[in-house]
Amino acid sequence: MPWNCLQFNVDDAGIATVTINRPDKLNALNSQTVSELAEAFAQVEADDAIRALILTGAGEKAFVAGADISGFGWATKEAASEGSSSGSLIFRRLETSRKPSVAAVNGFALGGGLELALCCTVRIASENARMGLPEVKLGIIPGYGGTQRLPRIVGRGRALEMILTGDPIDAAEALRIGLVNKVVPLADLLSTAKTLLGRMLNNGPAAVAAAMRAVDRGLDGSLEEGLAIESSLFGEVTTTADCKEGVAAFLEKRKPVFTGK
């Protein structure tokens, strides 16, 4: 499809790079951008030739500097709630994808931008990155999952400090509290993301997908429920051709050739 707010490219390794392309607006999310993201996530999930996703922003200043408030209208509280819910469902598609994703955070990731990054499997930040949820400064709260995902990643206290002050943190602090996995020079951001995904993609696709499902589903329940989910998924992956290939390759001291089946 033609993209107006995104760039969509797939390399020879099957890694799709989706770039939010509104640099004049610091890549702020408007309704069209969110709609195109939904299409992009669906395309990544449906295309078996695509094995993983990098999500980033155009330019050197911003990943996504937040929502483009001028493009959203909330005539009633019902309309506002519906807008929040529909956006959250789109972001959830990314979070529950069977394919790993990396948020390559190049600059500002504020409000909806940070909420989008939180949905990726992992996050890598450039040294100039700044991340935050400033919604309270506008008299609102995060509406695309920030109040739910941030505490799960960095803990209740740190998340509440960020949410209630609305103050951003720099890349070094984001690394310290576990909000991002790595901090690298801006020039190395995309190559580092591809290298990390390459290490994941060396492994059995069915196992990678099952491991992500186990973590996602297990986080919302008790330890006992999580262990049951893990055991069920463990049983599922042992029936795959990739499992048989992985075991055979280990015993034969060779590199496995996984097919995703």
Q: What one-character DSSP code corresponds to residue 29?
A: B
**DSSP reduced 3-state for 113:** helix
Q: What angle do CA 136, 68, 146 make, to 5 degrees?
A: 45
pLDDT at 102: 98
Q: How many CB atoms lie within 10 A of CB 226?
A: 16
Question: Is residue 194 in some structural domain?
Answer: yes
Q: Is 173 a catalytic residue?
A: no
Residues 126-171 pLDDT 10s = 999 999 999 999 899 999 999 999 999 999 999 999 999 999 999 9
**Beta-bridge partners for 131:** 109, 169
As given in the structure block, the two tokens for residue 156 are: 């209740």
Q: In what order do the strands lie in the sheet with 101-105?
A: 6-10, 15-20, 52-57, 101-105, 122-126, 182-184
In a domain, 232, yes or no: yes
pLDDT exceeds 80 at position 74: no
pLDDT for the residue numbered 249: 85
Better pLDDT: 1 or 39: 39
Which of 135, 224, 225, 252 is catalytic? The answer is 135
* Helix or strand holding residue 63 (H, E): strand 62-64
Q: Are the C-beta atoms of 44 and 53 separated by less than 8 Å? A: yes
pLDDT at residue number 73: 61
CA gap 124, 126 in Å, rounded: 7
Same domain, 156 and 67: yes
Tokens for 69, please give them.
């408030």
In whole angstroms, give the CA distance from residue 106 to residue 190: 9
Q: Are residues 178 and 229 in the same domain?
A: no
115 as an active site residue: the answer is yes
CA angle 228, 181, 205 (to 5 degrees): 50
pLDDT class of 180 with cuts at 50, 70, 90: very high
Model confidence pTM above 0.85: yes
Residues 194 and 228 in one domain: no
Whether 22 maps to a domain, the answer reads yes
104 and 176 assigned to the same domain: yes
Q: Are residues 193 and 214 in the same domain?
A: no
CA 87 to the chain's CA centroid: 14
Same domain membership, residue 210 and residue 163:
no
In this prediction, residues 80-96 reach a mean pLDDT of 91
Q: What is the mean pLDDT of the chain?
A: 93
* Exposed / middle / buried, residue 147 (Cβ in 10 Å: 0-12, 13-18, 19+): middle
Give the pLDDT confidence score for residue 80 in this predicted structure. 82
Look at residue 11 and tell me whether its pLDDT is greater than 70: yes
Assigned domain for 256 exists: no
Number of neighbouring beta carbons within 10 Å of residue 122:
16
Arithmetic mean of pLDDT, 26-35: 94
Q: How many domains does the chain have?
A: 2
Residue 260 lies in a domain: no
Q: 10 Å Cβ neighbour count for 140? A: 15
- The span from the CA of 219 to the CA of 151, in Å, is 12
Return the pLDDT at 71. Answer: 59
pLDDT tens digits for range 182-198: 999 999 999 999 999 99
Strand partners of residue 184: 126
- 193 and 211, same domain (yes or no): no
Residues 105, 68 share a domain: yes
The residue written with tokens 């943190």 in the block is 169
**177, 201, 225 — which closes off a domain?**
201
pLDDT by residue (tens digit) across 205-255?
Answer: 999 999 999 999 999 889 999 999 999 999 999 999 999 888 898 899 898
Question: Can you give the residue range of the structural domain that contains 240?
Answer: 205-251
Residue 194 Ramachandran class (φ > 0 left, ψ -120 to 50 alpha, else beta) = alpha
Active-site residue (options: 39, 115, 245, 252): 115
